[in-house]
Structure 1
Amino acid sequence: MQFGIFTVGDLTPDPTARVEPSEFDRIHAMVTLARKAEEVGLDVFATGEHHNPPFVPSSPTTLLGFIAAQTSRLLLSTSTTLITTNDPVKIAEDYAMLQHLAGGRVDLMLGRGNTGPVYPWFGQDIRNGIALTVENYALLRRLWREDVVDWEGKFRTPLQGFTSTPRPLDGVPPFVWHGSIRSPEIAELAAYYGDGFFANHIFWPKEHTERMVGLYRRRFESYGHGRADQAIVGLGGQVFMRKNSQDAIAEFRPYFDNAPVYGHGPSLEDFMAQTPLTVGSPQQVIDRTLSFREYVGDYQRQLFLLDHAGLPLKAALEQLDLLGEEVVPVLRKEFAALRPADVPEAPTHRSLKAARDAEAGTELVSR
């Protein structure tokens, strides 16, 4: 099972110190977090994509390419690549380039984002959100899997004899997760192609996540990709830890209360009771995370949000130390003991290439 962190890259003032980091500081803080994630033994670092304040990660491939040069093992991903407003041709080329630079340590999560105005900024209409997702992803798959593409659709100019460059590393496209908070159409899309489904798992109660993942699993099986329990599932989650749970709650409360997304709403205690947000001791995070399996089944990737809402870099790095030293080693052991042998691990470039080569060898022998 893969464990990692993701960032939304918000530029939020620290409500306790009333200090707002500069864009330079925030961008370099994300790089520092990625390096630290590798240092403490995590598997994945993922960044969001936003084109509006108070967020800074408008160019995920630039950020991840910079991180790739400073890491050797960390898998680099996105926690949203906007499939609706990015040109699929540019996605195909940008992430194939990143694949080569990172030696295959790349996958991506496609989504529609959470900012309505982004659509007209990039010449699109939010009312076409689902249709754009379906059409753009169908084209992206062809661009990565066919050397020469002739294509015509509704939302962009046609392609005639087009070859995206560079080609995917080793002829193996990056693995794709489809991320969604609330749209069953995205779970359906992920199931149709046999891709991964990533449930954000931060803002909604567990019953909602259970329904979304359950739909994806059933449809994955109905499309013939394997049994429902073999579908590829990822979860998000947000944690804040201190050795003592009361200290964690007291320290995190002002950040929660002033967060740009969920601040000025339910109390911290209510939000923790109604969603998977976990603020407390490392053992409480372990227990809560293990409980996710009870309603989504065996899953392949768990990403934690650590640096949201103005939390200072020092505190976020301390969270990573706790994850690496006390939480993730226990979670790895417990999840591995519970996972049936025929439930797959999360795909990587190496495993996808090995499967492709094995299939090619089998076809050759059968001839």
Structure 2
Amino acid sequence: MNFEIGLYTLGDLVPDPHAGNTISPRQRLKETIEAAKLADEAGLDLFGVGEHHRLDYAVSAPPVVLAAIAQATKRIKLTSATTVISTADPVRLFEDFATLDLLSDGRAEIIAGRGAFVESFPLFGYDTNDYDDLFAENMDLFLKLNEADVVSWSGRFRSPLASAEIAPRPVQSRLPIWVGVGGSPESAIRAGRLGVGMAIAILGGEPERFKPLVDLYRKAGAEAGFVPEELKVGITGHGYVAATTQQAKEEYFPYYANYRSYVSRGRGTESRVTRAEFERLAGPDTALFVGSPQQIIEKILYQYELFGHRRFMAQIDIGGMPFRKVAEGIELLATKVAPAIRKETGK
């Protein structure tokens, strides 16, 4: 299996810390499609969009946005990042992504998770106290829908299915599904027992602290009867690439600090990242992927030694960053970083 490198976006609508303006949702979506097109043309492997249901994010319907991207691209894989499966109807979710798979000639995937906020629970009539039970039940049903054309099923949170025809069927024999994990051992074990991929969000700190999660995931998967090839690990994180590490840090810091402050306010807290803290977060041994192409290569390869993962996805467009900077980062990631990573991991 080749090492895959890609991008994801949450479509945040954050004021530019320099200019002070916030682009419109329409412009944000147009730029998201253009970023995916650039990534596809440059040879990156996958592109993801996340799900939020807030006025400060542009993407609430990942399969719709990904379907638009499918028409502008040719080969890049298309994934959610993430789908809040706890508050999604599994049948509608499967049909949406199966349709995306047909429209994209077999390029659709799903990363299922909780997401950064919980606004979808009251919006769609669910109780956050039922989070774990909803996740377990909806994952169980989705995996059954992925296996068979006709499904009978019953559960606690939605009406039962009696020999229900599940249409359309995707191009792929099964839609690839991953579980997004932020740091919970229980989530890692659950992903292993289900035999789905595990996408770990490492947004800062030392990557070594996530090694136990990978070990738990693989152990649980093996005990459930899955072979190593079925237990796929991916790493996701914030990143920014420039010609030199110093340039990358100078350019990225205002946007990163802006994003962190904005997200914390959305959660009802106030968190400001100082330049000194940012320097620590972006150090050579930490998980914030900010630097020259060589610095990013070294960080990815170090984590590859730790985890043995086969996929890395970077979020490079946060905090009101202008699209021209995103485009420059895509080019460097595709032309400088990706070839070196594929060469080293292919040995």
Give yes or no for TM over 0.5.
yes
Matched, 1:258 2:258: yes
Matched, 1:331 2:341: yes
Between the aligned partners of 2:230 and 2:107, the Cα distance in structure 1 is 23
Aligned to 1:232: 232
Q: CA deviation at 1:196?
A: 0.7
How do 1:242-253 and structure 2 match up within 5 A? 242-253=242-253
Between the aligned partners of 1:108 and 1:115, the Cα distance in structure 2 is 18
How do 1:300-311 and structure 2 match up within 5 A? 300-311=310-321
Answer with 183-192 or 1-10: which moved more.
183-192
Between the aligned partners of 1:289 and 1:300, the Cα distance in structure 2 is 10
Between the aligned partners of 2:237 and 2:117, the Cα distance in structure 1 is 20
Aligned to 2:81: 79
Cα-to-partner distance string for 1:167-221 (whole Å, 9 max, x where unaligned)? 2326x12111111102223222221122111101114531332121121011111
SS of the residue 1:16 aligns to = coil
Q: CA deviation at 1:311?
A: 0.8
Q: CA deviation at 1:158?
A: 1.7
Matched, 1:290 2:301: yes
Q: CA deviation at 1:230?
A: 6.7
Matched, 1:28 2:30: yes
Residues 309/300 of structure 1: CA separation in 2 closer, same or farther (3 Å cut): same
Aligned to 1:174: 175
Q: CA deviation at 1:270?
A: 2.5
The AA in structure 2 aligned to 1:284 is: Q
The AA in structure 2 aligned to 1:75 is: K
Answer with 177-186 or 267-276: which moved more.
267-276
Residues 319/6 of structure 1: CA separation in 2 closer, same or farther (3 Å cut): same
Residues 230/133 of structure 1: CA separation in 2 closer, same or farther (3 Å cut): closer
Moved over 3 A (4+): none
How do 1:103-182 and structure 2 match up within 5 A? 103-169=105-171, 172-182=173-183
* 8 Å CA contact 1:130, 1:185 repeated in 2: no
* 8 Å CA contact 2:54, 2:119 repeated in 1: no
Cα-to-partner distance string for 1:33-57 (whole Å, 9 max, x where unaligned)? 0000011110101110111131111
The AA in structure 1 aligned to 2:212 is: R
Between the aligned partners of 1:205 and 1:176, the Cα distance in structure 2 is 27
The AA in structure 2 aligned to 1:33 is: A
TM-score (norm 2): 0.92
* 8 Å CA contact 2:234, 2:312 repeated in 1: yes
The AA in structure 2 aligned to 1:195 is: V
Flag structure 2 segments of 5+ consecutive residues without an equivalent: 265-270
The AA in structure 1 aligned to 2:298 is: D
How do 1:50-69 and structure 2 match up within 5 A? 50-69=52-71
Aligned to 2:222: 221
Between the aligned partners of 1:280 and 1:150, the Cα distance in structure 2 is 51
* 8 Å CA contact 1:279, 1:285 repeated in 2: yes
Cα-to-partner distance string for 1:2-56 (whole Å, 9 max, x where unaligned)? 1110111101111011121111111111001000001111010111011113111
Flag structure 1 segments of 5+ consecutive residues without an equivalent: 338-367
The AA in structure 1 aligned to 2:296 is: V
SS of the residue 1:236 aligns to = strand
How many equivalent pairs are there?
334
Residues 318/127 of structure 1: CA separation in 2 closer, same or farther (3 Å cut): same
Between the aligned partners of 1:178 and 1:74, the Cα distance in structure 2 is 20
* 8 Å CA contact 1:96, 1:173 repeated in 2: no
Answer with 64-73 or 159-168: which moved more.
159-168
SS of the residue 2:21 aligns to = coil
TM-score (norm 1): 0.87
Choose the corresponding residue for 2:16, options 14, 35, 39. 14
Q: CA deviation at 1:319?
A: 0.3
Q: CA deviation at 1:140?
A: 1.0
Aligned to 1:341: none
Between the aligned partners of 1:205 and 1:276, the Cα distance in structure 2 is 6
Q: CA deviation at 1:127?
A: 1.4
Aligned to 1:192: 193
Q: CA deviation at 1:315?
A: 0.2
Aligned sequence identity (%): 35
Answer with 113-122 or 101-110: which moved more.
113-122
